[in-house]
Amino acid sequence: MNSLRDGVRRITGALPPWAFAAAAVVVVLVIPFTSPPRLVQLTIIFGINALLAQSINVLTGYAGQISLGQAAIYGTGAYGTAVMSVQYDWPLWASVPAGIVMAIIVGALVSIPAGRVHEFYLAMVTLGLGILAFTIFRQWGEVTGGFSGLGNIPSPPLGSLTVFGYTLGLVSYFYVTVVLVVVVTWLLANILKSHVGRSFVALQESELAASTLGVNPARRKRLAYVLSAALAGIAGVTYAHVVGFVSPDAFSVNASIAILVFAVLGGMRTLAGPFLGAALLTYLPDQLQAFSEWQHLIYGLILLFSFIVLPRGLAGLFPYRTSLIHHRVDRRRDEKAEPAEVQPAEQSRDGAAAAGVAEGDVLLEVRDVVMNFSGVRALDGVSISVRKGSIHGLIGPNGSGKTTLLNVVSGVYKPTSGQVSFGGVRADGRKPHQVATLGIGRTFQHPLVFDELTVRENVVVGAERLFRSRLVQLLFGTRAAVREERRMVRSAEAAIERVGLEELREALAGGLPFGRQRLLELARSLAGEPLLLMLDEPAAGLAEDDLVELASLLQTLRDGGMTVLLIEHHMDFLLRLVETVTVLDQGEVIFDGTPAAARSDERVLEAYLGASAAATGV
Ligand SMILES: Nc1ncnc2c1ncn2[C@@H]1O[C@H](COP(=O)(O)OP(=O)(O)OP(=O)(O)O)[C@@H](O)[C@H]1O
């Protein structure tokens, strides 16, 4: 199977991706001149199915949110315009947007419970929505027409589709649909290849890492639901006006499964995949009318086996990867970089306070922090002051509370009691993404890289807190948005070069060796231009050469005004770098002072260095 797939990939790889897209558009455009009306209508249905598959692609493929109830949103769009135009005589220009808005509202409402649950429960919530919507379509007879559906919707077959005095026939409607699909796909591509699309994938790969880089998980998931609902809603209104009739059966749970199959078979997290899946499953069943009774069985089998036969869907037969960096920026990738126009990071209002702290003054203040886990007191009244422009070491035996302290400062844990202030602003009680916007960056003891993103994409996600473009700017790929993207990509490239990963910038992060992943995490944090960088054992897994480079990088960062809080078991490495060291033991601070004093402090030697003093020569 694999060799067959590789063979197909070699053949498809002979042509650039745009050649396939151009050929598809040409084929579609000649259809009205060469085909019977039935095929013209079927091609409109293909466009609708592609939009539906794209709606799952955004929600599940990119944002990792399962939906078993997409037909509910699709149906809301269709019934929305149908009811408004048939029951209330609204003109098309009003009923169509109304249907789309209704679908978006349902999507936004679903995102509320969905934002709080994961996987299995999310599947149940969305399945519940599907059943609920189906029941409403069927039972709310006086509005929806009940079981027998709602007819007489303005449509080409009835000759009643009139917009501003023009009556649209099937061919005109066909071209309207083509333009709609092309424009919607362009808008979608702009969003998915922006920091929003990258953060969708980042959240899916590691919500913890993404949120500590400034991605707001609840807000992003809400946005994914809204975008997905907008696509399904557009598909719904297009459907209602091409068929001229809506009935509950078109929006049943079976329809939700079919939409899922379009996306899975086509291949998710690519822009082309949903088109491929929708094309195959629109035109093929039409040719195999005799098998129509078996349609759902076939969909079930495809879902069962696609992960084995075509794990990346039909799109996996093409050797392309959809980059998550805006195409206008990506195209210039190999040009010799113009001088990096890295601009000073804009700070949030609270971050500005920290930026204003003078060199040598206290930047991070931890006061009497207690952190209890059921039965374990990981931190027991810890106080630390980290001065601006210093490298501050944090050491202690295993289990002494170092990582817990980092988690408290970065908002991953809410302390049981005590305070954390950053630049005089209270930081405890804030969520991780809010702490990140203050200007606090961190790495993890076990690197949390976004496996399916390239090194470059990973590092640009690190700049999340610095992006200012608004959603509309991203949607239309305005010059300002592209300029910002370009600036962030440049500073990401600079961060990659700083850690020496430039040769690997197009490699997928998941395939990197452990030590490279550590450096990648460091570069990712640097892209966010933090005021305070907290590193959890950055030297672990690095070769001697890399250690020397890392030490010199940290010194350069410090000299540039950055403050570093460094946890490290590698004593030689740490004690040579830091100005101040705090030693924790069993959740308490047992020493705070210079490295020289630490080397001769009895409590330190006893608690921590005792065992390794001989080995490290301390
Ligand atoms: N989420 C958690 N739930 C329960 N206990 C925890 C949790 N996180 C940390 N602990 C406990 O808190 C204590 C301190 O752990 P922590 O990971 O902060 O230590 P550390 O100094 O970073 O150790 P190491 O050097 O081994 O990484 C340990 O006893 C640990 O088991």
- Domain spans in the chain, listed from the N-terminal domain onward: 35-317, 361-439+530-617, 450-528
| Ligand 1 pocket test target in 376, 380, 406 with most atoms within 8 Å of CB | 376
Nearest CA owner, ligand 1 atom 12: 378
Strands 376-387 and 162-163: unpaired
> In the prediction, which pLDDT does 298 show?
75
Name which residue sits closest to atom 9 of ligand 1, judged by CA.
404
Cβ 415 vs Cβ 371: under 8 Å: yes
Taking the centre of ligand 1 as the mean of its atom positions, its distance from the CA of residue 538, in whole angstroms, is: 18
- Among protein residues, the one with the nearest Cα to ligand 1's atom 7 is 373
pTM of the full structure: 0.88
Give CA–CA dist 112/116, Å, rounded.
7
H or E stretch covering 88: none
- Separation CA 526–CA 96 (nearest Å): 46
Q: Which two tokens stand for residue 517?
A: 């992943």
Question: Separation of 518 CA from ligand 1 center, angstroms?
Answer: 20
Ligand 1 pocket test, candidate residues 372, 373, 408, 443, most atoms within 8 A of CB: 373
Q: Which residue's CA is the closest to the ligand 1 atom numbered 11?
A: 378
Q: Ligand 1 atom closest to Cα of 401?
A: 18
Domains 35-317 and 361-439+530-617 share a fold: no
DSSP-based three-state secondary structure for 495: helix
Q: In this predicted structure, what is the pLDDT of residue 344?
A: 47
Sheet holding 425-426: strands in order across?
376-387, 362-373, 417-422, 425-426
User: Which positions of the chain have pLDDT values less than 70?
Assistant: 1-15, 115, 119, 285-292, 315-320, 331-352, 608-618
Residue 338 and residue 198: Cα distance in Å, rounded?
24
Which ligand 1 atom is nearest residue 587's CA?
14
What residues line ligand 1, using a CB cutoff of 6 Å? 373, 376, 378, 396, 398-404, 445
Output the CA torsion 231→234→239→244 (10° steps): 160
Calculate how far, in angstroms, residue 401's C-alpha sits from the geometric centre of ligand 1. 6
Supply the DSSP symbol for 348. -
Q: How far is the CA of 395 from the centre of ligand 1 (A)?
A: 13
- Residue 600 main-chain phi, psi, to 5 deg: -110, 5
The CA 402 to ligand 1 mean position distance, Å, reads 8
Which fold, 361-439+530-617? Rossmann fold (3.40.50)
233: which residues sit within 8 A by CB, 6+ positions away? Answer: 73, 74, 76, 77, 80, 99, 100, 101, 102, 103, 104, 107
Which of 327, 254, 246 has the alpha carbon at shortest distance from 295? Answer: 254
Q: How far is the CA of 601 from the centre of ligand 1 (A)?
A: 25
Contact 129, 72 (CB under 8 A): yes
Spatial separation of the C-alpha atoms in residues 50 and 460, rounded to whole Å: 30
**Angle at CA 201, nearest 5°, toward 196 and 207?**
100
Give the per-residue pLDDT at 435: 94
Task: Report the nearest-CA residue for atom 24 of ligand 1.
Answer: 398
Q: How far is CA 277 from the centre of its chain?
A: 23
| Nearest CA, atom 1, ligand 1 | 373
d(CA 239, CA 245): 9
Nearest-atom number in ligand 1 for the CA of 407 is 18
HSE-CB for 165 with a 13 A CA cutoff: 0
ipTM score assigned to the predicted complex: 0.96
The pLDDT, as a whole number, for residue 2 is: 64
CA distance 80 to 91: 13
> Which atom of ligand 1 is closest in space to residue 374's alpha carbon?
4
pLDDT score for 613: 47
Q: Residue 405 CA: which ligand 1 atom is closest?
A: 18
CA of 579 to the centre of ligand 1 (A): 26
Across-strand partners of 60?
none
CATH 1.10.3430 given to domain 35-317:
no
CA dihedral 287, 293, 296, 301 (to 10 degrees): -80
Q: How confident is the prediction for the chain on average, in pLDDT? A: 85
Which residue's alpha carbon is nearest to atom 30 within ligand 1?
399
* 524, amino acid identity: R
Per-residue confidence (pLDDT) for residue 47, from 0 to 100: 94
Angle 362-368-373 (CA atoms, 0-180°, nearest 5)? 125
What distance in Å separates the CA atoms of residue 70 and residue 229, rounded to the nearest whole number? 8
Q: How far apart are CA 605 and CA 487, in angstroms?
A: 48
Which ligand 1 atom lies nearest to the CA of residue 569? 25
